[in-house]
Amino acid sequence: MSRAASSVLLALFGLLTLSGCGINNIPTYDEAAKAAWSQVENQYQRRADLVPNLVETVKGFAKQEKDVLVQVVEARSKVAQMQVPKDIVNNPQAFKQFQQNQDALSSALSRLLVVVEKYPDLKSNQNFLALQSQLEGTENRISVARKDYIEAVQRLNTEIRTIPGRWWHSLLYSDVKAKESFTAAPEAKEAPKVKFQ
């Protein structure tokens, strides 16, 4: 065998060895985290789009519950007005603000649904029932999307912090940053108070 042929075989063997030792994990995991984040944003946008219809449907029935409706509209407005930077998953302050705005909207929607319990006619209104069902489905989709994002971030962050991924990160992918993840809202840590009357 000639020296050139053995060099080519050695180079091919080296490439195969490199491809099998995780050299492509970081960009693969980074893209998975980006895709999961896009899905989170997609579900939050779906919820924001449903809110005006829900508020308008409830308005006709619950005029005296104006403060709750105002809270929902204001929370949605904060979500809609927030300029989400492209690097939000690498920016702890922007990520925290985004999460706080989304949590405020979730909380306001929960209060709105509690108010709805006072209005039997509203609870039987077909438009409201359809919107409530869509909103519940959207909340479930948000939970799933957040879970998928958290898992993708955990996979990426673990890879760039452990060996051999840490080596590949410093050699080839130093532009890939660890990503932020969701945390539970403070009020979610408290057990709900149940009262029977």
Q: What is the DSSP string of 42-111?
A: HHHHHHHHHHHHHHHHHHTT-GGGHHHHHHHHHHHHHHHH----TTGGG-HHHHHHHHHHHHHHHHHHHH
Pull the structure tokens for residue 195: 């009262």
Which pLDDT score, from 0 to 100, does residue 150 have?
Answer: 94
The string over 155-186, giving b where at least 16 C-beta atoms fall within 10 Å of a residue's C-beta and e elsewhere, is: bbbebbeeeebeebbeeebeebbebbbbeeee
Which pLDDT score, from 0 to 100, does residue 197 have?
Answer: 42
Quote the pTM value.
0.68
Nearest Cα neighbor of 155 from 174, 182, 179 is 179
Which pLDDT score, from 0 to 100, does residue 124 have?
Answer: 63
- Segments in the chain below pLDDT 70: 1, 12-21, 60-66, 119, 121-124, 185-197
Which pLDDT score, from 0 to 100, does residue 61 have?
Answer: 65
Which pLDDT score, from 0 to 100, does residue 39 have?
Answer: 93
User: Which residue type does 138 have?
Assistant: T
Radius of gyration of the chain, Cα coordinates, nearest whole angstrom: 24
Q: E strand or H helix at 16, and its extent? A: helix 3-20
Which pLDDT score, from 0 to 100, does residue 148 have?
Answer: 95
Which pLDDT score, from 0 to 100, does residue 196 have?
Answer: 39
Which pLDDT score, from 0 to 100, does residue 62 have?
Answer: 62
Which pLDDT score, from 0 to 100, does residue 112 have?
Answer: 78
Which pLDDT score, from 0 to 100, does residue 70 have?
Answer: 77
Q: Give the model confidence (pLDDT) of 144-180 as tens digits.
A: 999 999 999 999 999 999 988 898 899 899 999 999 8
